[in-house]
Amino acid sequence: MTEIILNKLVIIGVGLIGGSFALALRRASLVEHIVGIGRSRENLLRAKELGVIDEIANDLQEALKDADLVLLAVPVGQIGKTIAQISLYLESKTIVTDVGSTKQDVIIAARSFLAHNLRNFVPSHPIAGTELSGVNAANANLFHHKHLILTPLEETSVDAIHYITRLWKSCGARISQMQASQHDEIFATMSHLPHILAFTLMNHVCTIAKGSPSNLLRFAGTSFLDFTRIASSSPEMWRDICLTNQASLLCQIDAYQDELAALRKMLANNDGVTLEKTFSNAQAVRHQWLKDKS
Ligand code: NAD
Protein backbone atom coordinates (compact mmCIF):
# COMPACT_ATOMS: atom_id res chain seq x y z
CA MET A 1 0.00 0.00 0.00
CA THR A 2 1.25 3.54 -0.76
CA GLU A 3 2.15 5.57 2.26
CA ILE A 4 0.25 8.84 2.79
CA ILE A 5 2.91 11.54 2.88
CA LEU A 6 0.61 14.53 2.79
CA ASN A 7 -1.92 14.81 5.57
CA LYS A 8 -3.03 18.27 4.58
CA LEU A 9 -2.53 19.88 1.18
CA VAL A 10 -3.71 23.45 0.59
CA ILE A 11 -4.21 24.48 -3.04
CA ILE A 12 -4.52 28.16 -3.79
CA GLY A 13 -6.06 28.46 -7.25
CA VAL A 14 -7.97 25.26 -7.97
CA GLY A 15 -7.95 25.44 -11.77
CA LEU A 16 -6.51 23.27 -14.53
CA ILE A 17 -3.06 22.82 -12.96
CA GLY A 18 -3.96 22.91 -9.24
CA GLY A 19 -6.92 20.59 -9.82
CA SER A 20 -4.88 18.16 -11.92
CA PHE A 21 -2.15 18.00 -9.24
CA ALA A 22 -4.83 17.19 -6.63
CA LEU A 23 -6.37 14.46 -8.79
CA ALA A 24 -3.01 12.87 -9.60
CA LEU A 25 -1.95 12.79 -5.92
CA ARG A 26 -5.31 11.34 -4.91
CA ARG A 27 -4.93 8.62 -7.49
CA ALA A 28 -1.47 7.83 -6.10
CA SER A 29 -3.04 7.66 -2.58
CA LEU A 30 -0.46 10.10 -1.25
CA VAL A 31 -2.83 12.68 0.19
CA GLU A 32 -5.35 12.58 3.00
CA HIS A 33 -7.11 15.96 2.98
CA ILE A 34 -7.16 18.75 0.38
CA VAL A 35 -8.28 22.29 1.15
CA GLY A 36 -9.06 24.65 -1.74
CA ILE A 37 -8.73 28.43 -1.74
CA GLY A 38 -9.86 30.50 -4.70
CA ARG A 39 -11.34 33.61 -6.15
CA SER A 40 -14.50 32.07 -7.56
CA ARG A 41 -16.89 30.33 -5.14
CA GLU A 42 -18.59 28.66 -8.09
CA ASN A 43 -15.31 27.05 -9.22
CA LEU A 44 -14.53 25.86 -5.68
CA LEU A 45 -18.01 24.33 -5.30
CA ARG A 46 -17.45 22.53 -8.58
CA ALA A 47 -14.02 21.36 -7.34
CA LYS A 48 -15.67 19.86 -4.26
CA GLU A 49 -18.41 18.26 -6.34
CA LEU A 50 -15.77 16.68 -8.61
CA GLY A 51 -13.87 15.33 -5.59
CA VAL A 52 -10.81 17.45 -6.40
CA ILE A 53 -10.85 19.09 -2.94
CA ASP A 54 -12.38 17.99 0.37
CA GLU A 55 -12.94 21.41 1.86
CA ILE A 56 -13.41 25.02 0.77
CA ALA A 57 -11.44 27.35 3.02
CA ASN A 58 -13.30 30.21 4.65
CA ASP A 59 -10.35 31.57 6.53
CA LEU A 60 -6.71 31.66 5.36
CA GLN A 61 -5.17 31.27 8.82
CA GLU A 62 -7.37 28.27 9.62
CA ALA A 63 -6.66 26.74 6.19
CA LEU A 64 -2.88 26.96 6.68
CA LYS A 65 -2.96 25.43 10.18
CA ASP A 66 -1.08 22.09 10.17
CA ALA A 67 -0.60 22.21 6.38
CA ASP A 68 2.17 19.95 5.07
CA LEU A 69 2.20 21.59 1.66
CA VAL A 70 0.82 24.73 0.02
CA LEU A 71 0.57 24.71 -3.77
CA LEU A 72 0.30 28.13 -5.42
CA ALA A 73 -1.55 27.64 -8.71
CA VAL A 74 -2.90 31.12 -9.42
CA PRO A 75 -1.95 33.24 -12.48
CA VAL A 76 1.64 34.49 -12.12
CA GLY A 77 0.51 38.09 -11.58
CA GLN A 78 -1.22 36.91 -8.38
CA ILE A 79 1.60 34.80 -6.96
CA GLY A 80 3.49 37.68 -5.26
CA LYS A 81 0.35 38.91 -3.50
CA THR A 82 -0.58 35.38 -2.49
CA ILE A 83 2.89 34.71 -1.05
CA ALA A 84 2.62 37.95 0.96
CA GLN A 85 -0.78 36.87 2.34
CA ILE A 86 0.23 33.33 3.32
CA SER A 87 3.52 34.49 4.87
CA LEU A 88 1.52 35.89 7.80
CA TYR A 89 0.24 32.46 8.83
CA LEU A 90 2.65 29.83 7.45
CA GLU A 91 3.96 27.34 9.97
CA SER A 92 7.67 26.57 9.93
CA LYS A 93 7.12 22.93 8.86
CA THR A 94 4.96 23.82 5.83
CA ILE A 95 6.54 23.39 2.41
CA VAL A 96 5.49 25.87 -0.26
CA THR A 97 5.68 25.30 -3.99
CA ASP A 98 4.21 26.99 -7.05
CA VAL A 99 3.48 26.08 -10.66
CA GLY A 100 3.96 29.49 -12.25
CA SER A 101 5.04 29.61 -15.89
CA THR A 102 7.74 32.19 -15.07
CA LYS A 103 10.19 31.71 -12.24
CA GLN A 104 12.37 34.77 -11.56
CA ASP A 105 9.39 36.90 -10.46
CA VAL A 106 8.13 34.19 -8.12
CA ILE A 107 11.57 33.91 -6.53
CA ILE A 108 11.75 37.69 -6.02
CA ALA A 109 8.39 37.54 -4.20
CA ALA A 110 9.55 34.59 -2.09
CA ARG A 111 12.73 36.46 -1.14
CA SER A 112 10.64 39.44 -0.04
CA PHE A 113 8.02 37.62 2.00
CA LEU A 114 9.37 34.17 2.91
CA ALA A 115 12.92 35.24 3.78
CA HIS A 116 12.66 33.53 7.18
CA ASN A 117 11.76 30.16 5.64
CA LEU A 118 13.25 29.91 2.17
CA ARG A 119 14.50 26.41 2.97
CA ASN A 120 10.92 25.22 2.51
CA PHE A 121 10.23 27.02 -0.77
CA VAL A 122 10.52 24.95 -3.97
CA PRO A 123 9.63 26.82 -7.19
CA SER A 124 8.39 24.51 -9.94
CA HIS A 125 6.86 24.57 -13.42
CA PRO A 126 5.05 21.64 -15.02
CA ILE A 127 5.51 21.68 -18.79
CA ALA A 128 2.00 20.44 -19.25
CA GLY A 129 -1.26 22.13 -19.88
CA THR A 130 -3.97 22.75 -22.38
CA GLU A 131 -5.73 25.81 -23.74
CA LEU A 132 -8.56 25.10 -21.26
CA SER A 133 -8.90 26.72 -17.83
CA GLY A 134 -10.71 26.03 -14.59
CA VAL A 135 -11.30 22.94 -12.51
CA ASN A 136 -13.62 21.37 -15.09
CA ALA A 137 -10.54 20.85 -17.27
CA ALA A 138 -8.52 19.18 -14.47
CA ASN A 139 -7.25 15.72 -15.31
CA ALA A 140 -5.24 13.20 -13.28
CA ASN A 141 -3.14 12.28 -16.36
CA LEU A 142 -2.12 15.83 -17.27
CA PHE A 143 1.47 15.48 -16.02
CA HIS A 144 2.07 11.95 -17.23
CA HIS A 145 5.37 11.73 -19.15
CA LYS A 146 5.65 15.53 -19.09
CA HIS A 147 8.64 17.59 -17.95
CA LEU A 148 8.57 19.25 -14.57
CA ILE A 149 11.22 21.88 -13.95
CA LEU A 150 12.42 22.81 -10.49
CA THR A 151 14.31 26.08 -9.99
CA PRO A 152 15.31 25.81 -6.32
CA LEU A 153 17.01 28.64 -4.49
CA GLU A 154 20.42 28.21 -2.87
CA GLU A 155 18.54 28.23 0.43
CA THR A 156 16.02 25.53 -0.52
CA SER A 157 16.68 22.43 1.57
CA VAL A 158 17.54 19.11 -0.05
CA ASP A 159 14.71 17.50 1.93
CA ALA A 160 12.15 19.94 0.52
CA ILE A 161 13.44 19.31 -3.04
CA HIS A 162 13.19 15.53 -2.51
CA TYR A 163 9.69 15.84 -1.12
CA ILE A 164 8.40 17.89 -4.07
CA THR A 165 10.28 15.65 -6.52
CA ARG A 166 8.58 12.59 -5.08
CA LEU A 167 5.13 14.17 -5.39
CA TRP A 168 5.63 15.20 -9.02
CA LYS A 169 7.12 11.81 -9.90
CA SER A 170 4.01 10.18 -8.49
CA CYS A 171 2.01 12.37 -10.94
CA GLY A 172 4.08 10.78 -13.74
CA ALA A 173 6.33 13.80 -14.40
CA ARG A 174 10.02 13.74 -15.41
CA ILE A 175 11.98 16.10 -13.22
CA SER A 176 14.79 18.46 -14.18
CA GLN A 177 16.44 21.35 -12.36
CA MET A 178 17.83 24.63 -13.66
CA GLN A 179 18.40 28.26 -12.75
CA ALA A 180 15.30 30.46 -12.83
CA SER A 181 16.95 32.86 -15.32
CA GLN A 182 17.72 29.98 -17.71
CA HIS A 183 14.15 28.72 -17.33
CA ASP A 184 12.65 32.09 -18.23
CA GLU A 185 14.86 32.45 -21.31
CA ILE A 186 14.08 28.94 -22.57
CA PHE A 187 10.34 29.30 -22.13
CA ALA A 188 10.24 32.73 -23.75
CA THR A 189 11.29 30.87 -26.92
CA MET A 190 9.50 27.57 -26.45
CA SER A 191 6.17 28.69 -25.02
CA HIS A 192 5.64 32.41 -24.57
CA LEU A 193 6.54 33.49 -28.14
CA PRO A 194 4.35 30.75 -29.74
CA HIS A 195 1.36 31.92 -27.67
CA ILE A 196 1.94 35.52 -28.77
CA LEU A 197 2.10 34.38 -32.40
CA ALA A 198 -1.16 32.44 -32.09
CA PHE A 199 -3.00 35.35 -30.44
CA THR A 200 -1.58 37.72 -33.06
CA LEU A 201 -2.64 35.53 -35.98
CA MET A 202 -6.24 35.48 -34.72
CA ASN A 203 -6.20 39.28 -34.41
CA HIS A 204 -4.56 39.59 -37.82
CA VAL A 205 -7.41 37.62 -39.41
CA CYS A 206 -9.88 39.89 -37.66
CA THR A 207 -8.09 43.00 -38.96
CA ILE A 208 -7.81 41.67 -42.52
CA ALA A 209 -11.50 40.71 -42.44
CA LYS A 210 -12.32 44.28 -41.28
CA GLY A 211 -13.88 43.07 -38.05
CA SER A 212 -15.96 40.25 -39.61
CA PRO A 213 -13.57 37.30 -39.05
CA SER A 214 -16.24 34.67 -39.75
CA ASN A 215 -16.05 35.67 -43.44
CA LEU A 216 -12.53 34.23 -43.46
CA LEU A 217 -12.67 31.68 -40.65
CA ARG A 218 -15.30 29.57 -42.40
CA PHE A 219 -12.56 28.65 -44.85
CA ALA A 220 -10.05 27.63 -42.14
CA GLY A 221 -8.50 24.20 -42.49
CA THR A 222 -6.66 21.92 -40.10
CA SER A 223 -3.42 23.89 -40.40
CA PHE A 224 -5.09 27.07 -39.16
CA LEU A 225 -6.86 25.14 -36.41
CA ASP A 226 -3.58 23.51 -35.27
CA PHE A 227 -1.62 26.75 -35.36
CA THR A 228 -4.18 28.76 -33.37
CA ARG A 229 -5.23 26.18 -30.75
CA ILE A 230 -3.33 27.99 -28.03
CA ALA A 231 -5.06 31.30 -28.84
CA SER A 232 -7.98 29.80 -26.86
CA SER A 233 -5.84 30.07 -23.70
CA SER A 234 -6.69 32.32 -20.77
CA PRO A 235 -5.96 36.00 -21.61
CA GLU A 236 -5.40 36.78 -17.92
CA MET A 237 -2.82 34.02 -17.57
CA TRP A 238 -0.99 35.10 -20.72
CA ARG A 239 -1.08 38.81 -19.87
CA ASP A 240 0.69 37.94 -16.62
CA ILE A 241 3.24 35.60 -18.23
CA CYS A 242 4.15 38.20 -20.88
CA LEU A 243 4.53 41.00 -18.34
CA THR A 244 6.58 38.93 -15.90
CA ASN A 245 8.93 37.66 -18.63
CA GLN A 246 9.01 40.97 -20.50
CA ALA A 247 12.76 41.29 -21.15
CA SER A 248 13.25 37.78 -22.59
CA LEU A 249 10.07 38.01 -24.59
CA LEU A 250 11.00 41.37 -26.15
CA CYS A 251 14.27 39.79 -27.37
CA GLN A 252 12.33 36.86 -28.83
CA ILE A 253 9.86 39.13 -30.63
CA ASP A 254 12.73 41.15 -32.15
CA ALA A 255 14.55 38.01 -33.29
CA TYR A 256 11.37 36.58 -34.78
CA GLN A 257 10.70 39.84 -36.62
CA ASP A 258 14.20 39.54 -38.14
CA GLU A 259 13.37 36.00 -39.36
CA LEU A 260 10.10 37.25 -40.87
CA ALA A 261 11.84 40.23 -42.49
CA ALA A 262 14.42 37.90 -44.07
CA LEU A 263 11.66 35.67 -45.39
CA ARG A 264 9.76 38.68 -46.72
CA LYS A 265 12.86 39.74 -48.64
CA MET A 266 13.24 36.27 -50.24
CA LEU A 267 9.62 36.45 -51.34
CA ALA A 268 9.85 40.01 -52.64
CA ASN A 269 12.97 39.01 -54.63
CA ASN A 270 11.27 35.92 -56.09
CA ASP A 271 14.14 33.97 -54.51
CA GLY A 272 12.60 30.50 -54.64
CA VAL A 273 15.93 28.77 -54.05
CA THR A 274 16.54 30.44 -50.68
CA LEU A 275 12.87 30.12 -49.75
CA GLU A 276 12.96 26.37 -50.35
CA LYS A 277 16.25 26.07 -48.45
CA THR A 278 14.71 27.94 -45.50
CA PHE A 279 11.65 25.67 -45.44
CA SER A 280 13.83 22.56 -45.87
CA ASN A 281 15.94 23.56 -42.91
CA ALA A 282 12.83 24.03 -40.71
CA GLN A 283 11.37 20.73 -41.91
CA ALA A 284 14.61 18.84 -41.18
CA VAL A 285 14.86 20.29 -37.67
CA ARG A 286 11.25 19.31 -36.97
CA HIS A 287 11.70 15.78 -38.37
CA GLN A 288 14.78 15.24 -36.20
CA TRP A 289 12.98 16.58 -33.12
CA LEU A 290 10.04 14.20 -33.64
CA LYS A 291 12.46 11.30 -34.17
CA ASP A 292 14.38 12.13 -30.97
CA LYS A 293 11.12 12.48 -29.05
CA SER A 294 9.75 9.05 -29.96
P1 NAD B 1 -6.72 28.33 -14.30
O2 NAD B 1 -7.33 29.62 -14.75
O3 NAD B 1 -7.30 27.05 -14.78
O4 NAD B 1 -6.69 28.30 -12.70
C5 NAD B 1 -6.30 29.38 -11.91
C6 NAD B 1 -7.22 29.44 -10.72
O7 NAD B 1 -6.74 30.45 -9.83
C8 NAD B 1 -8.65 29.81 -11.07
O9 NAD B 1 -9.53 28.89 -10.45
C10 NAD B 1 -8.84 31.22 -10.49
O11 NAD B 1 -10.15 31.47 -10.06
C12 NAD B 1 -7.85 31.16 -9.33
N13 NAD B 1 -7.37 32.46 -8.88
C14 NAD B 1 -7.01 33.51 -9.64
N15 NAD B 1 -6.57 34.52 -8.86
C16 NAD B 1 -6.64 34.08 -7.60
C17 NAD B 1 -6.33 34.65 -6.33
N18 NAD B 1 -5.84 35.88 -6.23
N19 NAD B 1 -6.53 33.90 -5.22
C20 NAD B 1 -7.03 32.65 -5.29
N21 NAD B 1 -7.34 32.05 -6.47
C22 NAD B 1 -7.16 32.77 -7.60
O23 NAD B 1 -5.18 28.45 -14.67
P24 NAD B 1 -4.09 27.27 -14.77
O25 NAD B 1 -3.94 26.92 -16.21
O26 NAD B 1 -4.39 26.23 -13.78
O27 NAD B 1 -2.78 28.09 -14.37
C28 NAD B 1 -2.39 28.21 -13.02
C29 NAD B 1 -0.91 28.51 -12.95
O30 NAD B 1 -0.20 27.46 -13.61
C31 NAD B 1 -0.48 29.81 -13.63
O32 NAD B 1 0.50 30.44 -12.85
C33 NAD B 1 0.12 29.34 -14.94
O34 NAD B 1 1.13 30.23 -15.38
C35 NAD B 1 0.68 27.99 -14.57
N36 NAD B 1 0.77 27.01 -15.67
C37 NAD B 1 -0.24 26.91 -16.58
C38 NAD B 1 -0.11 25.98 -17.60
C39 NAD B 1 -1.19 25.83 -18.65
O40 NAD B 1 -0.91 25.37 -19.76
N41 NAD B 1 -2.41 26.17 -18.37
C42 NAD B 1 1.01 25.13 -17.66
C43 NAD B 1 1.99 25.24 -16.68
C44 NAD B 1 1.87 26.19 -15.68
Task: Identify the residues whose C-beta falls under 6 Å from ligand 1.
Answer: 12-18, 37-40, 43, 73-76, 78, 82, 99-101, 125-126, 129, 133-134, 234, 237, 241
Distance 216 CA to ligand 1 centre (A): 32
Q: How many angstroms is it from 99 CA to the middle of ligand 1?
A: 9
The alpha carbon of 120 and the centre of ligand 1 are apart by a number of angstroms equal to: 22
Question: Which domains does the chain carry?
Answer: 6-178 (3.40.50.720), 182-293 (1.10.3660.10)
pLDDT at 1 over 70: no
The model's confidence at residue 52, banded by pLDDT at 50, 70 and 90, is very high
Q: What is the 3-state secondary structure (H, E, C) of 6-24?
A: EEEEEEECCCHHHHHHHHH
Is the pLDDT at 2 greater than 70, yes or no?
no
What are the backbone angles phi and psi of residue 9, rounded to the nearest 5°?
-110, 130
Q: By the 8 A CB rule, do 232 and 131 touch?
A: yes
The predicted pLDDT at position 5 comes to: 86
Task: Kindly state the percentage of the chain with pLDDT values over 70.
Answer: 99
Q: How sure is the predictor about 211, in pLDDT bands with cuts at 50, 70 and 90? A: confident
Distance CA 249, CA 139 (A): 30
- Tell me the CA–centroid distance for residue 106 and ligand 1, in Å: 14
pLDDT averaged over every residue in the chain: 97
pLDDT in tens, 227-285: 999 999 999 999 999 999 999 999 999 999 999 999 999 999 999 999 999 999 999 99
**Residues 71-124: tens digit of each pLDDT:** 999 999 999 999 999 999 999 999 999 999 999 999 999 999 999 999 999 999
Q: Tell whether pTM > 0.85.
A: yes
